[in-house]
């Protein structure tokens, strides 16, 4: 049994911890985009706007409806007041007064509906302007002037450069090793273009799922006071010293795959010299060897030849000094 001690080094990049894709809440033709990649913006700055002719026409129509509803309510209110006075003096019927009162209530409802349409038209018109929801820097653009975009389509991507982190793609085997630790190790992050610039970081987030293409996990490392040269998109190298672990190195021929697809080895039970299939955890696969992290004890004898032909309880012959 040996001690497995290594330092994991991976290349990643600097990204903003908070980054959002901004788009219009309505579809339309982009008239102008006022920012480009690398531009710094303040909260509320206009980034782009759409052709708003349709929304302006809808706003005018809604304003006309409100004006008509206000005129209608004024007329119905006057009639209701007149009928009330005539009813009190005995010059009209209760039915005529009830009709006037009903027309007044209907006019009030129509005015409320027209005002709601006006508010909606005003909001829709404001949606043709894309403004920054916070201060930041533009990191990407997704639409050009003259292009017709759909609602929600990314027009620009806005990032907060004040909160930066390093993002790495970690192979599954190394990640499983780290997750078994009581505490995740600190990470030393260096700039590829200048190895003298270094920042300390801690693992903030590990993606729960593997990337279907690269078969790696995304690991995000929060940086503590990174140097100004750690710009967004900069290539960095992260180094983490993984915890020491007791392991056993075996030839690859000793490894057997169970019906469930799990790794196992045949262990010789002495003094009967019969074999038992033992599940093991493989920490690392190398050319011709495997590193087993659990499932075996020091001094146990493992079959390294013909493992695919064995069955539980089968008696084997041990060649003394052969390493089996």
6-37 confidence digits (pLDDT tens): 556 788 999 999 999 999 999 999 999 999 99
Residues 148 and 36 in one domain: yes
Domain count, the chain: 4
Alpha helices per DSSP H over 90-192: 94-126, 172-179
User: Mean pLDDT by 10-residue block, N- to C-terminus, for the chain (324 residues)?
Assistant: 60 92 95 94 95 95 96 93 90 91 94 96 96 93 95 94 89 54 75 91 85 85 91 89 72 83 86 86 77 81 82 79 47
Across the chain, mean pLDDT equals 86
Phi-psi region of 214 (alpha: psi -120 to 50; beta: other; left: phi over 0): alpha
pLDDT on residue 300: 84
Residues 45 and 65 in one domain: no
The pTM of the whole model exceeds 0.75: no
Does residue 323 sit within a domain? no
Residues 170 and 290 in one domain: no
Domain that residue 303 falls in: 246-309
**CA-wise closest residue to 45 among 66, 22, 68, 25:** 22
Residues 72 and 168 in one domain: no
């Amino acid at each position: 049994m040996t001690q497995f001690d290594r330092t994991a080094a991976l290349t990643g990049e600097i990204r903003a911890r908070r980054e959002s894709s901004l788009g219009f809440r309505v579809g339309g033709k982009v008239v102008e985009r006022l920012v480009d990649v690398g531009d710094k913006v303040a909260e509320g700055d206009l980034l782009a706007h759409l052709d708003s002719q349709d929304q302006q026409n809808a706003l005018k129509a809604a304003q006309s409806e409100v004006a008509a509803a206000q005129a209608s309510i004024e007329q119905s209110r006057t009639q209701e007041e007149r009928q009330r006075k005539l009813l009190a003096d005995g010059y009209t019927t209760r039915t005529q007064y009830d009709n006037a009162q009903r027309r007044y209530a209907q006019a009030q409802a129509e005015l409320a509906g027209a005002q709601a349409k006006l508010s909606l038209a005003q909001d829709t018109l404001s949606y043709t302007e894309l403004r920054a929801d916070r201060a930041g820097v533009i990191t990407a653009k997704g639409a050009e002037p003259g292009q017709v975009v759909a609602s929600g389509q990314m027009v620009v991507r806005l990032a907060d450069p004040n909160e930066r982190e390093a993002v790495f793609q970690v192979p599954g085997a190394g990640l499983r090793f780290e997750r078994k630790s009581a505490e995740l190790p600190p990470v030393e992050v260096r700039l590829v273009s200048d190895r003298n610039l270094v920042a300390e970081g801690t693992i903030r987030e590990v993606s729960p799922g593997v990337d279907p293409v690269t078969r790696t996990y995304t690991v995000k490392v929060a940086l503590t006071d990174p140097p100004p040269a750690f710009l967004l998109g900069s290539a960095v190298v992260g180094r983490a010293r993984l915890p020491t672990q007791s392991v056993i190195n075996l030839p690859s021929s000793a490894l057997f795959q169970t019906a469930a697809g799990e790794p196992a080895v045949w262990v010789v039970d002495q003094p009967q010299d019969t074999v038992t299939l033992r599940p093991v955890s493989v920490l690392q696969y190398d050319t011709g060897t495997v590193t087993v992290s659990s499932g075996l004890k020091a001094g146990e004898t493992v079959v390294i030849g013909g493992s695919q032909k064995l069955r539980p309880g089968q008696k084997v012959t041990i060649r003394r000094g052969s390493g089996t």
